[in-house]
Structure 1
Amino acid sequence: MSIESEVSLDGKKLTIAIKGRFDFGSHQLFRDAYERFYKVPQVYIVDLKDATYMDSSALGMLLLLRDHAGGDDAEVRVINSSADVRKILAISNFDKLFDIH
């Protein structure tokens, strides 16, 4: 499991790539991936292309990211999610809180 973050050159977009299991064990790494930047980006992207597993604590971590990013005014995108993950996000009504691709 690893979590990598990359900020765009203009500092407006932060991409967080999840590799392996996205579960409670990745909580601190995930928080560090977005809290370590002193300037708050306008857009957050969570890339699940290489995520192999996602549990309910990962859903909570996504909510914490959304709150950090500005809550209802935040632009948080979840991209490259598998069909199973998209189904979990839809059942949880996360498709109403996040831009999911």
Structure 2
Amino acid sequence: MSVVTELTPDGQKLTIVISGRFDYAKHQGFRESYENLQPKPKSFEVNLKDATYLDSSALGMLLLLRDHAGGDKADIKLSHASADVRKILAISNFVKLFNVS
């Protein structure tokens, strides 16, 4: 039920691990995980291996991350999504906005 971050030693890649339900309750922790990093990492990974559910606020948070990271030029990977989470990402067309693996 948490948001855990890991920054590579060179500061180039930030990994955000989501556990449990990815919903509005994680909004503050998710935004704080990337907003104030200086310098801004060049790539981001949102590890969804332990995420059980995404709601519309989670999709909005992913869009905010995308905007923060550079919009269309952003290097963001959504990794290790379960079949249910992948289905939500596919239905919402996030597979066109993010690298989903």
TM-score, reference length from structure 2: 0.96
**Are 1:59 and 2:59 matched, yes or no?**
yes
Instruction: Give the drift of 1:60.
Output: 0.4
Structure 1, unmatched stretches of 5+, are none
Match of 2:10 in 1: 10
Number of residues paired by the alignment? 101
Q: Which runs of 4+ in 1 moved over 2 A?
A: none
Q: Residue 21 of structure 2 aligns with which residue?
A: 21
Q: 1:1-101 counterparts in 2 under 5 A?
A: 1-101=1-101
Q: CA deviation at 1:36?
A: 2.7
Whether contact under 8 Å (2:54, 2:88) holds in the other structure is: no
**Identity %, equivalent residues:** 62
The one-letter code sitting in structure 1 at the alignment partner of 2:87 is K
Contact 2:47 2:79 in 1 (8 A): yes
Local SS of the residue matching 1:57: helix
